[in-house]
Amino acid sequence: MERRDFCLGAAVAVGLVALGGTVRATAAEAPLLRPPGGFDEDTLVGSCVRCDRCRSICPRNCIALGTLEDGWLNAETPLLDFTRGYCDFCADDPAGPRCIRVCPTGALRDSLPEAAVIGCAVLDADLCVNCYKCVPACAYEALAWDEATQLPVVGPQACNGCGACEYVCPSASFGYYDGSTRRALAVEPLRSEGGAR
C-alpha cells in the first residue's frame, strides 16, 4: 500500500467518524411522538424509507413529517402533530390503524399492547385557561375535572396519548405572544423501554 492511499483512507475514516458524531449531535434531544406502532425508535428510524404513505393515509391528519430541526436521522420520518388533528387509532376500521397497514417496511409495527399506546398527556397548569374543553374530548375517560383547582387531572393508566385533549386545547391562542404553539395539555412519548409506563 502506498503512503498516499494510506493517508487517503485515514482521512476518509476520520471524516466518517466525524460525520457519525455530527449526526448523533444533531439528533432530536427530546423523544419524538410517533404514530401507532412506532414505539421502537431504533426500528422506526432504521426501517423507515420516508415514503410518506402513513401521513397520506391518516384520516385525522395528525401525522406530520420530521424536519432537520428534529435531527438528520428523523428528517422525513413520521411524527404526530396534535395541533392538526388527533389519533383515534382508525376506530372506524376493523383492521386497525391504517398507518401501520400501509407501512411497507415494518417501521410501524402492530405489536400490542405497545401499538395501542402513543404516549401520555401532561398538564402545564401555567398555560391552562380553565375552559374544560379537554375533559369531554377524551373518549378514554383519562381526564377528570378538579373543581377545587379548576384544572384537568390526567389519569396516566387510562391515557393512551391519542391527542384529542391537546387538539381541542385553546391555550396557545389566548394571551401568548412569544410564538409558542405549546398547549396546556401536551402528549409526551413514553420514555421507558418497550412502551411500558
Cell of 182: 405549546
Residue 180 is predicted with a pLDDT of 63
Cell of 113: 399492547
84-122 tens-digit pLDDT: 999 999 999 998 899 999 999 999 988 655 568 899 999
Q: Check: CB of residue 77 under 8 Å from CB of residue 50.
A: yes
Q: Tell which residue, 186, 157, 192, 187, has the closest CA to residue 171.
A: 186
| Residue 12 backbone class (left: φ over 0; alpha: ψ -120 to 50; beta: rest) | alpha
Residue 30 is predicted with a pLDDT of 75
Q: Tell which residue, 109, 111, 112, 116, has the closest CA to residue 159.
A: 116
48-58 tens-digit pLDDT: 999 999 999 99
Say what percent of the chain tops pLDDT 70.
75
* pLDDT value at 176 more than 60: no
Q: What is the arithmetic mean of pLDDT over 165-189? A: 80
Residue 131 is predicted with a pLDDT of 95
d(CA 125, CA 150): 10
Determine how many CB atoms are found less than 10 A away from the CB of residue 173: 10
Residue 12 is predicted with a pLDDT of 64
Q: What is the arithmetic mean of pLDDT over 158-163? A: 96
DSSP class per residue in 119-161 = EEEEE-TTT-----THHHH-TT--EEEETTTTEEEE-TTT---
Residue 5 is predicted with a pLDDT of 60
* pLDDT value at 159 more than 70: yes
58-87 tens-digit pLDDT: 999 999 999 999 999 999 999 999 999 999
DSSP state of 12: H
DSSP state of 69: G
